[in-house]
Structure 1
Amino acid sequence: MEVAHLRIDTPLGPLLISGTDEFIQAVSFTDEPATDFPLPPRLLLECAQQLHEYFSGERKVFEVPLYQPGTAFQQSVWQQLTAIPFGHTISYQQLAHRIHNPRSIRAVGTTNGKNCIAIIVPCHRVIGSNGTLTGYAGGLWRKRWLLEHERTDLFTGLL
């Protein structure tokens, strides 16, 4: 199955969505010049719509099928990332405990950094044990923006 791409504009700059008509396999920030892609499958358009809803304050949870190849350990970390509630953060240490491997803090951090599905698999919600913002492939300024966006009162009426 051929992977398709769709580039969208967001408040954080362009995002490139990659996937097929069955799953999303990547959402990444891009600084590459705009490229014309063929008409994407419906699922990529749906993903783009959900991302726009997220940025406009209308969506907390994403509902698109995902595929991200990785080891059993990586899968367990990424699965736990999707369980972090909107507007909340956890530490790398807490994440290691959640996968029942408390000594794997560094491996958890490495796996978090290998997440290819930004925002939807919310690796931005993981912070240092002392509350500091640490590493984010999209840049710490984007991580800060995402966390502040999720802590706004935009969703008060939707609770």
Structure 2
Amino acid sequence: MFKTKLLLLAIVPLVVSILVTSIVTAYNEQALIDENIATFRDKLVNERKNQLKEVTQVAENMVERINPGNSQARLAEVKTALSDVQFGDSGYFFMYDKKGVNVFHPMKPSLEGKNLIDLTDPKGNKVIKGLLETAQRGDGYFNFMFEKPGTNELIDKIGYASW
């Protein structure tokens, strides 16, 4: 009986110690995994933002080269030039005037001519107003939700707005 108690006194602390060490190790590993995932996601988002800015600058350069003559003819040329330009799996260009009226939307032509200044996404973001304000501050990024092209699914989007 004494040997059993002695054996239990030796084994129980060892088992508890191993158990506590295993739990702490698992927790630390999960925290490290979570941190790595967040870092990886941030890098992907920043890379996407850089690509978005670059492709927008290319499109702006393209538009600048279009004949600055008659504004209606120029707008038609701009729309034609940008209508087939897509990037990534769901990226495209669209345009609004200063009042929030859609001038061009290749994925949803039914929006053209409509004032969408009060368009609000499910998160409460004033989408067009936010994009216009971002552009007027000197270009930049704006996060919002909008339908993914070809679906009715609302997804998080990052827009790069420029004037």
Q: What TM bracket, shorter-length normalisation?
A: under 0.3
Judging by fraction of residues, say which structure has more helix: 2
Query: Rg bigger for which structure?
Result: 2
TM-score, length-scaled by structure 2:
0.26
TM-score, length-scaled by structure 1:
0.27
Q: Which has the higher contact order (CA 8 A, sep 6+)?
A: 1
